[in-house]
Amino acid sequence: MNKIVSLCAFSTLSIIAQANQKPNIIMIMADDLGYGDISCYGSKLAKTPNLDKLATEGVRFTDFHSNGPVCSPTRAALFTGLYQQRTSITSVINASINRDHGMPTDIPTMPQRMKEMGYQTALFGKWHLGIPERFNPSNRGFDTFKGFLAGNIDYHNHLDREGNLDWYQQTELKDEKGYITELMTNHAVNYIDENKNKPFFLAIMHGAPHLPYQGPNDEGLRIANTPFNKQPKDLKGRNVKTIYREMIESMDKEIGRVVAKLEEHKLRENTLIVFCADNGHTGPGSSGGLKGKKSSINEGGHRVAGIFNWPGKLKPQVTKETAMTMDLMPTFLEMAGAKSLEKYKLDGISLLPLLKENKPLPKRYTFWEYKGRKAVRDDNWKLIISGKKTELYDLERDLGEKKNIAKQYPEKVATLTKAINGWYAEVSPKTSSKKRKKNDKKK
């Protein structure tokens, strides 16, 4: 009898402990996934039932944006909650050209802040914020890291574009066998098994569907110690579109494994899952009818999928609110129990009131900048400045950015031009690095 009573007491305690435990956060990012590349966003090519289910049973954004139109800038914004211009990561870190570059180590990262809030942190998959050891994820706030540091690797033999092995376990170059989409998921589900009793922040950073285009059943493509221009470009005899579909469907299947693992441990109701992409499509991908693709500051370059799922906590809805990658850090910090976000001095805002209570986000401008082209959003209005050319679009009526109406609305153009210039003067890498040096001296 005593044994039964103590067993009951134990299981009640464990339920109470779980209810009181801070929510887990799983951040899943796809790489170069177009706005129209998964079925809940209209893809006719790939079937993505697991993502569709997360979207239908959660909050699906139709106006979610990557901070940058290419990889590294968006990741810098994700992990700092800042406009990436402040971190000096305004273009991609390239495995052959600027290998020594990385995100400045004096800027606090999201995982560092999550650790302060009592979380354990892990990243599996792509980093792309610096190759030298001081920039390694395990030196930038992640307790656990297994994955790759450069922009892309061969999915099977794990060579970067220069033919160097790029698969790390913490700071050690140590290869493992496997198709990376599956391999990083193996690590993620094992991580959940091992860490289910303490709150965790888990980043699953897919390589898919970034090139090289390789499906789960293909073979390695890249050749060791061979420069990018001499690497084979594709798998002979296979249709690239078919491979692209396989890559997305493999990612979806692997996301399903993560969800199943959470269900197995009864963690679904205490776990937020977020899915988004780091920029628009390339190659055989689809923008879903938007203008432009990766590297463009037209919508196709940065409007991406944004799915938030937290059963019992988030009411299923499709939202038209405008949000960006840099909003995730304040959202997660608030979830983790941060009383005030002001002290962190972030550019992003918490999406939690919108997600949990359907409260509209505060009115704000949102900005993009890449290689001298700048854009600003103000509700339905979007202004783009590129050299001497100014474009104004009403996205409510013209999501495809086809009709430049700048001449018809000179006052709007003047207001938004002033906003862009003011913003850039504040965040530009030059201003920001000066400010950081000044702060260093004060310390």
Site of interaction with Ca ion (CB under 5 A): 31-32, 71, 278-279
By beta-carbon proximity to Ca ion, the closer residue of 37 and 278 is: 278
By beta-carbon proximity to Ca ion, the closer residue of 31 and 160 is: 31
By beta-carbon proximity to Ca ion, the closer residue of 92 and 399 is: 92
- For residue 51, the number of C-alpha atoms closer than 13 Å in the C-beta half-sphere is 28
CB of 71 to Ca ion, least distance (A): 4
- For residue 17, the number of C-alpha atoms closer than 13 Å in the C-beta half-sphere is 10
User: How many angstroms separate the CA atoms of 166 and 99, rounded?
Assistant: 13
CB of 150 to Ca ion, least distance (A): 12
CB of 101 to Ca ion, least distance (A): 17
CB of 126 to Ca ion, least distance (A): 9
CB of 261 to Ca ion, least distance (A): 26
Q: What count of other Cβ atoms lies within 10 Å of the Cβ of residue 23? A: 18
User: How many angstroms separate the CA atoms of 287 and 273, rounded?
Assistant: 24
**Among 215, 314, 224, CA closest to 274:** 314
By beta-carbon proximity to Ca ion, the closer residue of 25 and 71 is: 71
135-153: burial string, b at 16+ Cβ within 10 Å, e else: bbbbebbbbbbbbbbbbbb
CB of 94 to Ca ion, least distance (A): 13
By beta-carbon proximity to Ca ion, the closer residue of 271 and 279 is: 279
By beta-carbon proximity to Ca ion, the closer residue of 31 and 252 is: 31
Determine the residue with CB nearest Ca ion.
71
By beta-carbon proximity to Ca ion, the closer residue of 216 and 301 is: 301
By beta-carbon proximity to Ca ion, the closer residue of 160 and 278 is: 278
By beta-carbon proximity to Ca ion, the closer residue of 279 and 319 is: 279
Q: Specify whether the CB–CB gap between 259 and 50 falls below 8 A.
A: yes
**Among 258, 282, 278, CA closest to 268:** 258
Q: Specify whether the CB–CB gap between 373 and 353 falls below 8 A.
A: no
CB of 38 to Ca ion, least distance (A): 15
- Both tokens of 200, joined, read 């965790």
Q: Specify whether the CB–CB gap between 274 and 78 falls below 8 A.
A: no
Length of the chain: 443
Asked if the bond preceding 209 is cis, omega within 30° of 0, the reply is yes
Q: Which residue has the tokens 């840099």?
A: 326
CB of 73 to Ca ion, least distance (A): 10
CB of 16 to Ca ion, least distance (A): 42
What percentage of the chain's residues is helix, strand, coil (to nearest 5)?
35, 20, 45
Q: Is 408 helix (H, G, I), strand (E, B) or coil?
A: helix
User: How many angstroms separate the CA atoms of 369 and 432, rounded?
Assistant: 15
